[in-house]
Amino acid sequence: MLKLMPIYGTRPEAIKMAPIIKAIQASPDFDCVVTVTGQHREMLDQVNELFGIAPDHDLNIIAPRQTLNSIMAKTVTGLDALFEAGAPDAVIVQGDTTTSTAAAIAAFYRGIPVVHVEAGLRSGDLFSPFPEEGNRKISSHISSLHLASTSVSKANLLRENINPEDIVLTGNTVIDALLETVDKNVPFQDRALQDLAETGKEILLVTTHRRENQGNTMDGIGRALARIADAYPDLTIVLPVHKNPAVREAVLPAITGKPNVIITEPLGYGAFTRLLSLAHIVLTDSRGVQEQAPSLGKPVLVMRNNTERPEAVSAGTVKLIGTDESVIVTEVATLLDDAAAYSAMANAVNPYGDGHAAARCLAAIAQLLNVGSRLPDFNDN
């Protein structure tokens, strides 16, 4: 049987890889050897547990305040030993984390075909998001099969002279995962969130973690949240805060102890999805949140100056607002005070997927390995 090795290390990769792993496990043609690097620990394990995935290999590389180079070095070395012991027929990597690019490089150097899921995202700025824009460009140029979520991503790859025969338009597996999870109505472990869900109060859901926002910019995000909390006492701000200590040191001081701010540990994917479905407005610098919130009809304000996700911006549900403290306050206030501005953004749109992306990914992999043929492309027009 052909051996496929999905390799991932962080929470967002785990969410997007889960539907593909499920599809491989259900197929009679393939063995699935799930390999995690452990770039994240708790945040990764939570997602694997929710989807019932037990990794076959775990490099457990995480270290406090790890550097990009240490992630790269440990991943390449650890995977090389696994490949030496028994090379898979293909590896599958997702997105643009340092785990995914390290895994792509390790496989490429061993002559193992690389399948790149969610290929072709580009912001156009090598340093934002950093290092992800560089990571994904490297991965694109050493992959054998490019699974693009949208036609914008496919066009980006064509512009870089990737062979059109090697690109398949699949839709984003995050929508497969979302549709499977949102109906579960997962209970909140956090008492404050459970109480909040019962009151039905308006929620501003906030997430922030991007490396290029860490430091002064993130201090400003903390101050903006404090100003919003003071100006709107009936609003509840919920911030599931990333495990990265650099994030916590920047954003927490201004808001800790405010009566209408709830700060939680990172939520499991199920609980996060439920919170997203309850939110009135979403304020974020995350990409996965930008992809999922539009499917639930939630206005998303993005604290970045660019996005590799222009589709939902065009659809009107996502707005790029940058990271200036006062602008953040003003943009949130506009959505809270102006019903017309709010309803203009609160449309449910699905530019990223139809829930069948994983099946298209697996069929394309089968064709790559000469044991099947591709399904019709995802149509995002």
Segment 40 to 69, residues that bind ligand UD1, using CB under 6 A: 40-43, 64-66, 68
39 touches ligand UD1 by CB under 6 A: yes
Rounded Cα–Cα distance for residues 65 and 75 (Å): 16
Contact with ligand UD1 (CB under 6 A) among 27, 37, 48, 97: 97
Segment 110 to 139, residues that bind ligand UD1, using CB under 6 A: 131-132
Least CB distance to ligand UD1 at residue 64 (A): 5
Least CB distance to ligand UD1 at residue 51 (A): 16
Least CB distance to ligand UD1 at residue 328 (A): 20
Rounded Cα–Cα distance for residues 364 and 20 (Å): 12
How far from 152 is each of 32, 159, 171, 172, 180, CA to CA, in Å?
30, 11, 11, 12, 25
Least CB distance to ligand UD1 at residue 134 (A): 10
> Residue 96 corresponds to which tokens in the numbers above?
């643009």
Active-site residue identified among 96, 190, 308, 380: 96
H or E segment to which residue 14 belongs: helix 11-26
118 is an active site residue: yes
Rounded Cα–Cα distance for residues 312 and 241 (Å): 25
307 touches ligand UD1 by CB under 6 A: no
Percent composition of the chain: helix, strand, coil (DSSP 3-state, to 5): 50, 15, 40
Q: How are beta strands 57-58 and 35-36 bridged, if at all?
A: parallel
Least CB distance to ligand UD1 at residue 266 (A): 7
Q: Which residue has the tokens 């090598």?
A: 126
H-helix segments, 97-145: 98-109, 132-142
209 is an active site residue: yes
C-beta nearest to ligand UD1: residue = 97
176 is an active site residue: no
Point out which span in 4-12, 253-261, 344-352, 354-362 binds ligand UD1 (CB under 6 A): 4-12
Of 105, 114, 35, whose CA–CA distance to 369 is shortest?
A: 114
Contact with ligand UD1 (CB under 6 A) among 110, 227, 243, 319: 243
How many residues sit close enough to ligand UD1 to count as binding (CB under 6 A)?
Answer: 19
Rounded Cα–Cα distance for residues 16 and 96 (Å): 12
Largest CA distance in the chain: 62
Within 10 angstroms of residue 197's Cβ, the number of other Cβ atoms is 16
Nearer to ligand UD1 by C-beta: 235 or 266? 266
96 is an active site residue: yes
Point out which span in 34-42, 151-159, 169-177, 226-234 binds ligand UD1 (CB under 6 A): 34-42
Contacts of the segment 340-345: beta carbons below 8 A, 24+ positions apart: 342/281, 342/299, 344/316, 345/299, 345/300, 345/316, 345/317, 345/319
The answer to whether the beta carbons of residues 37 and 8 sit under 8 Å apart is yes
Active-site residue identified among 116, 209, 304, 309: 209
Least CB distance to ligand UD1 at residue 109 (A): 20
Q: Which residue has the tokens 């005070």?
A: 337
Segment 170 to 209, residues that bind ligand UD1, using CB under 6 A: 209
Contact with ligand UD1 (CB under 6 A) among 94, 98, 172, 273: 98
Nearer to ligand UD1 by C-beta: 98 or 153? 98
Nearer to ligand UD1 by C-beta: 68 or 179? 68
Least CB distance to ligand UD1 at residue 34 (A): 18
How far from 160 is each of 154, 206, 310, 356, CA to CA, in Å?
10, 35, 18, 27
Instruction: Note the residues at the interface with ligand UD1 (CB under 6 A).
Output: 10-12, 39-43, 64-66, 68, 97-98, 131-132, 209, 243-244
Residues identified as active-site: 96, 118, 132, 209, 211, 242
